[in-house]
Structure 1
């Protein structure tokens, strides 16, 4: 069986999953690989984990290209992903209009579900926001930290806490059953991250890798990207 291997940030897992059938119909290849914190995925590539394609933050893919691990000319933006709030489906949602509302929502929660605060894009940002809001010490015991946003959201969905809340990238919230996207972080606390795909220099199937990037970024997938939580990308440029 022919397989294209990818290493990707968790933000792109839902989008890649939605394109798997189309990719197989186009190329005959299945898609396999890992999704997780972008820093961890980059380190896997550096340590020799086989991969044809990476889908990581634009800055990280550019760094890997500098390290000669990604073909610079293959890089293509998939779209922006916002860091957002999530609630367990069915729970009352708190309206968060500004930083004060966000501070109040975090302090009112008895469990806060987040991805890795050292290696994931959203997790690092959440840790910074908690410091910015002056609540890091007060809520530290309530943090529930997981390797990636998808796992954090699954745990939020299954949580038995009285009033849990989650914070990760919108794409990971949208693709997880049992949690509801509440909205992006408010002005002053917001983060929108560009995700970029690239072909690795050690790709076993570079042409198939290019085919996948074409699907991920092409104008024909605008609605799929939008449903998955991506903003912008090449589809916003008129043909």
Structure 2
């Protein structure tokens, strides 16, 4: 089986999955991916894991280019992803218009499902927001921290808590069955993160890597990006 190997933040998992059939039809290659916290994926590349394409935050991809691990000329923006709130399917949405609303919503939750607060983009931001709202200590015992946003959302979907809440990147919420996007974080608390794709310096399937990157950012995939939760206005 011919495969293209990718390392990606969880934010892009749904988009990659939606493009995989088209990519296979065009190239004959299957996509074999690892999806997780961006810091962990970057360290996997640094450790020498065979990789053709990476899809990570723009800042991290730029850093990896500086380390000689990806080709700077191949770096391509895919779109921005907002950090957002999630509820279980069937639960009432959490209406959050400002920081005070967000503080109240977090304090009202008896379980808060989030990705890794040290290595994932959304998790690091959640930790900052809790500190800024001065409730980090108060909700610490209610945090349910998982390796990545997709896992956190699956656990939210299965939760038997009375009033659980999730917070991760919108793409991971949209792609998880059993949870519903409840809106982006409010002004002053939000985070929109640009994700980019790039070819690994030591890619073995270079032509196919270039094709996947082109597909990810193509005008023809705009609707797929939008449905997956990417803000596409910045992508031509």
Scaled to the shorter chain, the TM-score interval is over 0.9
Give TM-score, length-normalised by structure 1.
Answer: 0.98
| d(CA) in 2 for partners of 1:199, 1:214 | 11
Distance 1:89 1:106, change over 3 A: same
Q: Which runs of 5+ in 2 are unaligned?
A: none
Deviates more, 1:86-95 or 1:112-121: 86-95
Give TM-score, length-normalised by structure 2.
Answer: 0.99
| d(CA) in 1 for partners of 2:219, 2:203 | 25
| d(CA) in 1 for partners of 2:225, 2:82 | 13
User: Could you tell me whether the CA contact under 8 Å between 1:217 and 1:233 is conserved in 2?
Assistant: no
Runs of 4+ in 1 over 4 A off after TM superposition: none
Aligned to 2:32: 32
| d(CA) in 1 for partners of 2:28, 2:3 | 9
1:84-141 Cα offsets, whole Å, 9 max, x none, are 0000010122210000000000000000000000000000000000000010000000
Aligned to 1:170: 170
Give the length in aligned residue pairs: 236
User: Could you tell me whether the CA contact under 8 Å between 1:78 and 1:233 is conserved in 2?
Assistant: no
Aligned to 2:49: 49
User: Could you tell me whether the CA contact under 8 Å between 1:6 and 1:31 is conserved in 2?
Assistant: yes
Aligned to 1:115: 115
State how 1:11-26 maps to structure 2 within 5 Å: 11-26=11-26
| d(CA) in 1 for partners of 2:203, 2:94 | 46
Aligned to 2:231: 231
User: Could you tell me whether the CA contact under 8 Å between 1:111 and 1:163 is conserved in 2?
Assistant: yes
Q: Considering only aligned residues, what root-mean-square deviation do their CA atoms show, in Å?
A: 0.7
1:51-81 Cα offsets, whole Å, 9 max, x none, are 1000000000000000000000000000000
Aligned to 2:215: 215
Aligned to 1:206: 206
